[in-house]
Structure 1
Amino acid sequence: MNTIRRSEFKREMKELVIPSVLQMLVGNSFSIVNMLMVTSLGDGAVAVTAAAGRISFILSMILTAVYGMTAYMTQYYGKQQYTLMRATFGFMLLTGIGMSLLAFVVVLIWKEPILTLFIKDTDLLPLGLQYVSIMAFVFLISAIRDAYAQALGSIGKVKITLYVGLCAMAVNIILDYGLIYGRLGLPKLGVAGAAWGTLIASSISLLFLFVFIYSKSYYLNIGVRELFSLPLKLRQQVLKTITPLMFHEGMWSIGNMLYAVAFGSLGIAALATFQLANTLQGYFMMGIHGFAYAAKVMIGQQLGKDNQEQAIEYARRFTRISVIAGIMISVVIVIVSPFASLVFPKLSAEVHASLGNVLLLQALAMTAFFLNNVWIVGMFRAGGDNLFTMNMILITTWAIALPAVFVGAYVLHLPLEWVYGLFLCEEISKALIGYKRYRSQKWMRNLVGNIPESPSAAASL
């Protein structure tokens, strides 16, 4: 890459990565603060939020698959085909709302049998049911808010979502403090207070986002007609691309739910440790999410312009960044792991003893986590390579790691640390398969090569 291109790469990457990392910092700081407040209520409260969190995770991953349509938005934006970009967003928003409504109904009807997969303690089950009943409404609100946020992010406009996130975090922290502990003149609701805080903060953040977008006529201020303006042939093409991604995210998220079931079988302390480790992992990985986002936008725009050579060079640079960052974060985790339990003083000695060991195992696999994020979420998704990633998940999650974890937990009755090591086999095997795909360059596809700007003209193709 010549000096001019290298300078352009660094400038564009910084413009995308810095706001995205700050947004991740806000989101993960919010998660850490939430977790700190809930952990003061004991292992059982953490286990309840962990169980509900697995349900939320499945729904969010299915919606993430719907948001795979942003690969088209990125490439349309790169080609300056703004009418089709907005039409694609309309179709994505409509699909996301439909999926979230379906999920809302399913969770409300079957919440008890779902929760009993994770929570075997009958005393904790009513608490979990109350928490999930409130969080079901968060699914609906988040589906709309996140659709706008994902779409804005796909065209490099991430600052507004950062500002909205900051406001939501501040509101959520204040409400959590008041509603969990009965402070600030608010009722003491315990774990349910955390759910109410999330619901109110999510509603406010959606309102802020709407006011900004529609008062400023900001990029995605679409009307009702644009929800249905994407031509049928293009809808079919988009659905063909994201269907494997929906299956991918669905199967992966169900697999993650089953991991929680396996860890739950080891006891409340093991499930609480698993939840804490996942929360801290998200915090450690927030930087690489920013680079994955930048890779998706920058490489996607180059693919839309048919600039294959520059897309390849960008992919190489992002891969090198991932390796260096993964090694650096691994060292940080090794240093801080002995002190992690000090952050959660109210939890049991059993959780304190296992958490440091689990974090050390995370450190060993962190480079694989980073590479998988940049390759799968960034590069492969930019080129719409969703069928391959679907097959990868079937192999790494369902054929390798999930059977190993269940055998370790249910058959061999291994200690938590050993079972967590088996859980990490997914990321390691995924990185090995992903590296081969990355090197093949088969993921590099122009999704919008010969599509006219006007939806009406596109319909005639």
Structure 2
Amino acid sequence: MTQSPATASPTPGAAAVFALAWPMTLKAIFLHGTVVVDGFLVSALGEGALAAMGLAAALGGIVLGVIFAFSHAMQIRAAQAYGTGDAVFMKSVLVSGLAVSIVIGIVGVAAIALGGPVLIGMLAPTPLIAEQALAYLMIFTVVILAEAVGQCIASFFNGCSRSKLPLYGYLISVPVNVMASLVLIHGYWGFPEMGVAGAALGSAIAITLQTLFWIVLLWRTDGGLASVHGWHNSTFGPTLRRHIRFALPIAATFVSATMATHVCSLIYANMALNDFAALTLIAPWNLLAGQVAMQWTQATGILVAQLLGKHTSEATLDLFLARAWRGAFVAALIVALIFLVMCLSLDWIYPNLEAETRTILLGFLPILLIIQFPRATNAICGNTLRAAGDTVYVMHIFVWSQWAFRVPATALLILYFDASAFWILSLFLWEEVIKFPAFHRRLWRGDWKHAHVAA
């Protein structure tokens, strides 16, 4: 039976954001941590196997990145529908989101099947690595198709304030992935020894189970939507087009961020070895530790979308956002403290690193402490504006700050001025400074409080 929007408190506060954010944070950590675990398991096979897995995962990751980008848009649109309490709107969002995500998955798998062998043949350093990478990639297409369905359902759950349900799926898939991959890579207990392909098959088994679990949960919580008649925008065609118009700017924002990161990473390869190593090592820390503040701000956006769907008063919106904003600063402080502990523990965490690399990492500390606060407040603004449907404006802020500033500045500082890693990392801080007035001016103008999100 379809659940109705939560109405326990007319003005949700930090506790409501926390209740939504902590399962999302753990889910994100599990998602990114699984990649690290897979790499660790495959590392026992040698550098060639790691190269094969990395090559195949990079190609498959492009399609997954697009699926994840659209699933974020689905999360916000589902929150808007959930806030209205309109079952037709909720069904329309769910079916439209699934349609878009499944089409992306099918097109991506078809592109991999047609172009994957050629690309791998061109990029792989040896025929053996090419063979292993292709075997991994072909099995990995199952992961792509399963995630096309699963991530859409998980985002729908998040938008409906049921963020624990996606987390339960990861509590199943992560241990299954580790055990299945370990057994299939090495051929334990009578199973075939598949090497790199075993890691892909382990992931495919785990993600398929996870998606099936979410489908069952969806039927139990929202199965009533199947009997709802009609579409939010008269018929399915206009409904689907409206969903795509909403989702495209958000998806483009995430895809642009991923591409900008990859381009900058390629430029980093021209730096001195110790500088390059330090930037490479800090990247996963940024990704994992940053989830604490990032998921808080995303949860804030979900609740804003729900409140707008309920036509909440301006005073209530202002009160909620003030509470959520204070919580975002606490989350930013937690992330800053994580980096403080990390930088002061470098000798213990990375005992085998060269002293120069550890010195560079320690030098990052001022930037890592300061950046968390403008990043958190910018994210609050961005997610609030997205929740109100102001997605194109937010996209422009991200795209221009990345491609008109950070990427060219990175190239200029590295290729022409031979700048140190400290100054390259500082570009991320300056990017947040550049985005700050554009975000806050738009938010303070207040138009978002009158958004008609049910359109």
Q: TM-score, normalised by structure 2?
A: 0.81
8 Å Cα contact 2:87-2:225 kept in structure 1: no
The alpha-carbon distance between structure 1 residues 149 and 201, as it changes in their structure 2 partners (threshold 3 A), is same
What's the counterpart of residue 247 of structure 2? 242
The counterpart of 1:141, out of the listed 143, 146, 166, is 146
8 Å Cα contact 2:74-2:152 kept in structure 1: no
Deviation at 1:319, TM superposition (A): 2.2
The counterpart of 2:76, out of the listed 66, 71, 77, is 71
Is 2:372 the partner of 1:369?
Answer: no
The alpha-carbon distance between structure 1 residues 61 and 25, as it changes in their structure 2 partners (threshold 3 A), is closer
Deviation at 1:389, TM superposition (A): 1.4
Alignment of 1:189-204 (within 5 A): 189=194, 191-204=196-209
What's the counterpart of residue 5 of structure 2? none
The alpha-carbon distance between structure 1 residues 422 and 17, as it changes in their structure 2 partners (threshold 3 A), is closer
8 Å Cα contact 2:308-2:449 kept in structure 1: yes
Is 2:320 the partner of 1:317?
Answer: no
Is 2:435 the partner of 1:430?
Answer: yes
Unaligned runs of 5+ in 2: 1-7
Measured in 2, the distance between the counterparts of 1:55 and 1:131 equals 11
**Deviation sequence 1:142-175 (CA, Å, 0-9, x none):** 1110000001110111222111110101111223
**Deviation sequence 1:108-149 (CA, Å, 0-9, x none):** 4444776799x7966896355554444343222111100000
Does the residue aligned with 1:400 lie in a helix, a strand or coil? Answer: helix
Moved more, 405-414 or 75-84: 405-414
The alpha-carbon distance between structure 1 residues 341 and 59, as it changes in their structure 2 partners (threshold 3 A), is farther
Alignment of 1:273-288 (within 5 A): 276-288=281-293
What's the counterpart of residue 26 of structure 1? 30
Letter in 1 for 2:213: F
Alignment of 1:208-219 (within 5 A): 208-214=213-219, 216=220, 218-219=221-222
The alpha-carbon distance between structure 1 residues 262 and 153, as it changes in their structure 2 partners (threshold 3 A), is same
What's the counterpart of residue 342 of structure 2? 336
Paired-residue identity, %: 19
Deviation at 1:304, TM superposition (A): 1.4
8 Å Cα contact 1:24-1:286 kept in structure 2: yes
The counterpart of 1:327, out of the listed 313, 333, 336, is 333
Moved more, 69-78 or 398-407: 69-78
Is 2:170 the partner of 1:173?
Answer: no
Measured in 1, the distance between the counterparts of 2:76 and 2:322 equals 20
Moved more, 439-448 or 196-205: 439-448
8 Å Cα contact 2:88-2:231 kept in structure 1: no
Unaligned runs of 5+ in 1: 452-461
Alignment of 1:396-411 (within 5 A): 396-411=401-416
8 Å Cα contact 1:180-1:188 kept in structure 2: yes
Does the residue aligned with 2:13 lie in a helix, a strand or coil? Answer: helix
Measured in 2, the distance between the counterparts of 1:178 and 1:41 equals 13
Measured in 1, the distance between the counterparts of 2:435 and 2:409 equals 15
Measured in 2, the distance between the counterparts of 1:368 and 1:54 equals 31
Measured in 2, the distance between the counterparts of 1:315 and 1:413 equals 43
8 Å Cα contact 2:78-2:159 kept in structure 1: yes
8 Å Cα contact 1:31-1:279 kept in structure 2: no
**Deviation sequence 1:28-79 (CA, Å, 0-9, x none):** 4434534544566677776766665555554344334433144333222212
The alpha-carbon distance between structure 1 residues 267 and 185, as it changes in their structure 2 partners (threshold 3 A), is farther
Letter in 1 for 2:329: V
Moved more, 6-15 or 80-89: 6-15
Letter in 1 for 2:23: P
Is 2:395 the partner of 1:390?
Answer: yes
8 Å Cα contact 2:305-2:387 kept in structure 1: yes
Aligned residues: 442
Moved more, 440-449 or 80-89: 440-449
Q: TM-score, normalised by structure 1?
A: 0.80
The alpha-carbon distance between structure 1 residues 220 and 375, as it changes in their structure 2 partners (threshold 3 A), is farther
